[in-house]
Amino acid sequence: MKSFLASLFSSQPPPRDGEGLPFWIFWLLLCVIVLLVMFIFLRDKDLRQRLNTFFFRTKIKFVKMRLQAKLRRENRVKAELLRTMGEKSWKEDIFPEKGEKTREELNKLEKERGSINSALEEVNANIGTLRLKLEESKREFDEKLKNKEEEKAPHKEKINAVKEQEKALKLKIDQINKTEAEAEKKIKAAEKQIKKLEKNTSLSDEEKAAKKAELKKEISDARQMKENSKQERQDLRDEEKEIELSGEDIQEQIDSIEKDRQKIEEEARKERHSFHKEINELEKDRERLLERMKSVTAKKDPLFENLGKTLDKVRLEHEGLLIFYSQIDRSNQRIGELEEQIDNL
């Protein structure tokens, strides 16, 4: 055996610098530790007993928690049965002698609930009326705005036509200016040729006279063209002024209609704001009334439960309550069984 172990350890390569123990040694040590723990556990009775006690107590604790949860749930079921029985007896006017005080308190709360309900109906009716008025107001203002747009539409068409006329007149005036400039160029060119012609010695007097007469005719025609252009431009300028004045009148009408439209929009905005403000206030009142209603209902539930407890004690003979008695008896039986189980743990 010693020789085998010596050969086994000698067969392992020596560890290099920076390496730990071989991997198999870790598993060997772990197995040894596990075996030692098992050996101690098997030999030590007190340890086994303590472990058994620990697990048993833990189990008992969980069982008790589960039973307590069932008991709480069953108590809630019984409380709901008592509350429902008390509410039914109140609605059908079934009251034991000891329940007169509870009856008075419930009647008082019911009266308060009726008052709150009436106030709620009135608030809801007012909200509905205001919303109808808001819709009607919106339709009226929309109709007014539509009418203003329809009123403005023909004026916009006219102003667009005026702009087109002004554009056409400007093109004509520009064309006249070009024609006048060309005529001026022709005049200057002809006058220049006349001066050159006077200095020209190669032509006879008759040829110079004929050429000069021809150039003077061109100058006269060009000057006439300029005069005609000036007159035509002046006529177009006058027409342009008339169109501008007409456009200004139309624009004033459009501006007036636009001011009316903006005034209508401002009135509509103010009226909408007023309606929304009133509706918001009423909705706040409704929320307050609903909170009061919840408070009244919350106050009635414990009274119903107390009335149910009183009925459960006296057990009035009434056909409508028999089913509740049997359900409560079954619930009491289950509660007793659960409490006994908890006590026996």
Task: Please state the domain extents for the chain.
Answer: 139-301
What type of residue is 66? Answer: R
CB-facing half-sphere around the CA of 15: CA atoms within 13 A: 8
320-328 contacts, C-beta under 8 A, 24 or more apart: 320/88, 320/89, 320/92, 320/94, 321/85, 321/88, 321/89, 321/94, 324/81, 324/84, 324/85, 324/88, 327/81, 328/78, 328/81, 328/82, 328/85
Q: Are the C-beta atoms of 303 and 103 separated by less than 8 Å?
A: no
pLDDT at 21: 62
pLDDT at 18 (0 to 100) = 46
- For residue 314, the model assigns a pLDDT of 81
pTM for the full predicted model: 0.55
Which tokens belong to 134?
A: 């808001």
Contact 161, 250 (CB under 8 A): no
**Integer Cα distance of 188 and 326 in angstroms:** 130
Provide the 8-state DSSP code for 19: -
Nearby residues of 264 by Cβ (< 8 Å), 6 or more positions away: 141, 144, 145, 148
pLDDT at site 19: 53
pLDDT tens series, the chain, 345 aa: 444 444 544 444 554 544 556 778 878 888 888 888 777 766 767 766 777 777 778 888 888 899 889 989 999 998 888 888 888 888 888 777 777 788 888 888 889 989 999 999 999 999 999 999 999 999 999 999 999 889 888 888 888 888 888 888 888 888 888 888 888 888 788 878 877 777 776 767 677 777 778 877 887 877 888 788 888 888 888 888 888 888 888 888 889 989 999 999 999 999 999 999 999 999 999 999 999 999 988 888 888 888 888 888 888 787 778 888 888 889 889 988 888 888 887
